[in-house]
Amino acid sequence: RVAYLGPAFSFTHLAALEKFGKTADLIPVNTIASVFEEVNRGHADYGIVPIENSTDGRIVDTLDMFTRLPLRICGELQMAIHHNLLSRSPRSEITEIYSKPQALSQCWDWLARNMPHAKTYDVTSTSTAAELARSKPGVGAIASAQAAVQYGLDLVAERIEDNAHNVTRFAIIGDQETKPTGRDRTALLLQIPHTPGSLSDALTAFKNNKINLTWIESFPLRGPESGYLFFLDFEGHSKDLNIRKALETLAKKAVRLEVLGSYPRSEAVE
C-alpha cells in the first residue's frame, strides 16, 4: 500500500506508478501531510512525496513534515516534469487557469507571454485542476498529458514549462532500511547552537571526511527558541566509514541530529 498526493494522474501518482508499478495498491490523499500521516499510522507501507524541483527548489510542505513525524526516507525517484495546458475550450476562450502552486510557478514565463488575459488560481494538485477544467467551460488546467486522457480534456498547449529540463525529485518514505550500493545518498536533520561560526564549524565534518554535501536548507525553529533547523543531504551511505566518522563529529556539536535515511541515488526518467 502506497500513499500519494492525488487524485489519480497527478505527477506524484505518475511517480508512484513508475516506482511501484501498476500492481501496487496506490492510495490517493489530498495533502502531503496526509501522505506522512498514512504511513505514520500504519495505513500505508510507503508514501511518495515531492521533495525538490530543479526550477523551484525545495518543497516546503515535505521538509516541514520530516521535522514533525519520525519517518525515514528509504528511496528516491527523479522524474522529468512536462506541463501542459488542458481545457475543453480553445485557448482564446480560456479566462481562468488552475494548478498546483509549484506547477504555475514553473510556467510563469509561458503564461505571461501566451495567456496574459487569464487569471491563475492555486489548487491542491494538478489532477484537481484537471477535474475543474472538465466541469467548467473557459477553464484551463496545467497538468500532465495523462491527465488530459483521464479527464477527457484537449491538449491546448504542450510542454509549457519554462525550464526544458524541469525535474522533480520524489522521496519514498517508510521504515525499510537499504544496504549500501556504492551510489547512495543520505539525508539528515541538524540543529546546532545558535552562535557565531557554529554552522561553519559543523560543516567541516563533511570537508574533513571528503563527503560531497549536495543540498542544505534552513528552517526557523518553532516557538520562542532562536535558531534554525537544517535539512542536509550528501553523497554516501550512513554505514560507510567516512560517513560514520562525520556523523560522530556532528553529534558532538549538535543540539539535535536525526538521520532521515540512506538510499540509492536515482537518475531522472522521462
Element (H, E) at 248: helix 241-253
Catalytic residue among 9, 11, 66, 170: 170
124 is catalytic: no
Structural contact between residues 50 and 104, judged by C-beta atoms closer than 8 angstroms: no
- How many helices and strands (H and E) does the chain possess? 9, 16
65-89: buried (b, 16+ CB within 10 Å) or exposed (e) per residue? bbeeeebbbbbbbbbebebbbbbbb
**SS3 of the chain: helix, strand, coil, percent, to 5:** 30, 35, 35
Catalytic residue among 126, 168, 178, 186: 168
170 is catalytic: yes
Rounded CA separation 259/252 (Å): 15
**Start-to-end CA span in the chain (Å):** 24
Position of cell 481562468? Answer: 96
Choose among 118, 125, 119: nearest CA to 103.
125
Other C-beta atoms lying within 10 Å of the C-beta of residue 163: 14
Residues carrying an active site annotation: 168, 170
